[in-house]
Amino acid sequence: MNTILWFRNDLRIEDNPALNQAVKRGASRALFISTPKQWEEHDLAPIQADLIERHLNQLAAQLQHYGMTLVHLKAQNYRDQVTLLNEYCQSHGINTVYANQELELNEQQRDQQLKEYGLELVLFQSIAIAPLGTVLNKQGEMFKVFTPFKRAWLEGIKRQGIDVSPLPQAKHCYYEEDVTSQKNSSKVSDDFELHTSSDRVELDYPKSDSSRWPLSDIVSQQVVPHFMAEKLHLYSQQRDFPAIKGTSGLSPYLAIGAISARAIANQLITQSPELLEDTSHPHFTWLNELIWRDFYKHLLFHYPNLIKGDNFQEKYRHYTWPNNPDYFRAWCEGKTGYPIVDAAMRQLVRTGWMHNRLRMIVASFLTKHLLVDWRWGERFFMQHLIDGDFSANNGGWQWAASTGCDAQPYFRIFNPITQSEKFDPNGKFIRKYLKELESVPDKHIHFPHQYLASAERTETYWPPIVDHKQARLTALDFYKTNVIS
């Protein structure tokens, strides 16, 4: 054996080109190298770490059908990861490593360092639906507006289709001798521990329970078919209402690579090929969300410094946010006095997930009502989200703050009260997370302060942290003074 497979952010069997090639080359081992210090620096949420751990153990069992053993190596950061992988390959006579490309800057630098050791690192692209670097304008550059990107994306898919890697041929065998030989040596060196697929993979990182999210095999076999058959036709009508389970719920699996965006898009287009021609089709709204995901992946590919916290738009790079820490704390704790904002933030902290419409509302509120730097919110999201994904999270926050690529204009400021009235009209979602407002009538639920102030009321709720009208004027003045001029 002189080849090995390296799993990173691609914890799946389906549409995994690196796995497919490794099986063809007869690889009998696959690696996963955990890096808890690096994860901490990257704000990996404990609930996402738990989801990763569960999928690693699922993956270990699945790999047995391909005659492969999953080996878990423990490093601390990417620097140690490079040293460990090189040492492991030298000690096992491995000269070729197959892996799927990762997009972020630290990961790219790590891969380059590994190549400098002399190992052949063969990378495959499976991050985006349309291959990175292929959706370009007439000048050969990345689009800076989503709509023309979408048109070019659709044209490219019509011409070339979606390159989904086939499942490798299963061997239905398991090499016990590999496990035995690995058990006889529990260390690669004095600094790094080795675990095999005969043991349960356990990540040395804080974790919180993700069990309400089923494993990806159940999602692929049951959830996705049910969504496409029963919910997809209503997606465009229901996706903005947080009290309705109208979205696919696939984002946590896409974020850790447990499900392939290419496979999902291919399944959707195969089912409804007219989507490539008819953007008014009800099913296109879901495809459009997948294209937005691709847009932010391609954007990060062309502008890697986004990982460093740069504002995409040059004119926003030299101003300072007021950053009131008390405002930020109230926002984090769901104590702003605006029910839709507070309920959304409590959903995030309690469950590790937040509905997409609510993400836009709370991001707009933090950046434009409270004038807190979008990077503070971006980091808080990553620290709590089960579907934390840098490109999508960064793109969404910069969109809300008006600093990003094709972002909403600075003068577009969501009114949290009217957003609440429109997307949670009966207050069902609010009441689920704000028990203190359970008995408030529908017509008062979106801003209950005057109702609660009446003499006969005993409920208590946080006073509004800012006045919406005044906060809007302050935000407009802030942007005009510090940016536009």
pLDDT digits (tens, 9 = 90+) for 178-195: 333 333 333 444 444 455
**d(C-alpha 429, C-alpha 423), whole Å:** 9
pLDDT at 177 over 70: no
Q: Find out whether 292 is annotated in a ligand binding site.
A: yes
* Residue 289 falls in which region: left (phi positive, over 0), alpha (psi -120 to 50) or beta: alpha
Domains of the chain, earliest start first = 1-126 (3.40.50.620), 128-165+216-302 (1.25.40.80), 315-484 (1.10.579.10)
Instruction: Render the burial of 398-427: b for 16+ CB within 10 Å, e for the rest.
Output: bbbbbbbbbbbebeebbbbeebbbebbeeb
> What pLDDT is attached to residue 189?
41
Angle formed by the axes of helices 284-302 and 390-401, nearest 10°? 100
pLDDT at 484: 54
What was the pLDDT predicted at 172? 54
pTM beyond 0.85, yes or no: yes
**Residue 295 labeled ligand binder:** yes
Q: pLDDT (tens digit, 9 = 90+) per residue, 410-460?
A: 999 999 999 999 999 999 999 999 999 999 999 999 999 999 988 677 678
Work out whether strand 96-100 and strand 3-7 pair parallel, antiparallel, or are unpaired.
Answer: parallel
* Active-site amino acid positions: 289, 292, 321, 356, 374, 397
Could you give the C-alpha distances from 219 to 162, 223, 427, in angstroms and in order?
21, 5, 30
**CA 100 from chain center: how many Å?**
17
Which pair of structure tokens corresponds to residue 426? 């009966």
pLDDT value of position 183: 37
Q: What local confidence, expressed as pLDDT, does residue 178 receive? A: 37
- Chain segment 81-125, per-residue pLDDT in tens: 999 999 999 999 999 999 999 999 999 999 999 888 888 999 999
Residue type, 176: E
Whether residue 289 is annotated as binding a ligand: the answer is: yes
249 is in an annotated binding site: yes
Segments of 174-237 assigned E as strands: 193-195
Torsion of CA 398, 402, 403, 407, to 10 degrees: 70
Q: Using an 8 Å Cβ cutoff, are 194 and 85 in contact? A: no
Q: pLDDT > 90: what percent of the chain?
A: 86
Sheet holding 29-34, edge to edge: 120-124, 96-100, 3-7, 29-34, 69-74, 193-195
Structural contact between residues 205 and 36, judged by C-beta atoms closer than 8 angstroms: yes
Rg of the chain taking only CA atoms, in angstroms: 24
Query: How far apart (Å, rounded) are the C-alpha atoms in residues 211 and 57?
Result: 14
Tell me whether residue 248 is annotated as binding: yes
Compute how many other C-beta atoms are within 10 angstroms of the C-beta atom of residue 202.
14
Distances in Å between the alpha carbon of 272 and those of 164, 207, 267, 286, 476? Answer: 17, 39, 9, 12, 44
How many other C-beta atoms can be found within 10 angstroms of the C-beta atom of residue 205?
18
Residue 389 in marked binding region? yes
pLDDT in tens, 48-68: 999 999 999 999 999 999 999
Check whether 39 is labelled as a binding-site residue: no
E strand residue ranges, 45-144: 69-74, 96-100, 120-124
- Residue 346 counted as an annotated binding residue: no
The answer to whether 190 is annotated as binding is no
Q: pLDDT tens digits, residue range 262-320?
A: 999 999 999 999 999 999 999 999 999 999 999 999 999 999 999 999 999 988 877 78
Please give the share of the chain, as a percent, with pLDDT higher than 70: 93
pLDDT band at 222 (very low <50, low <70, confident <90, very high): very high
Task: Return d(Cα 289, Cα 296) in angstroms, integer.
Answer: 11
State the pLDDT confidence band at 168, using cuts at 50, 70 and 90: confident
Write the CA distances from 27 to 31, 66, 202, integer angstroms.
Answer: 11, 9, 24
Phi-psi region of 133 (alpha: psi -120 to 50; beta: other; left: phi over 0): left
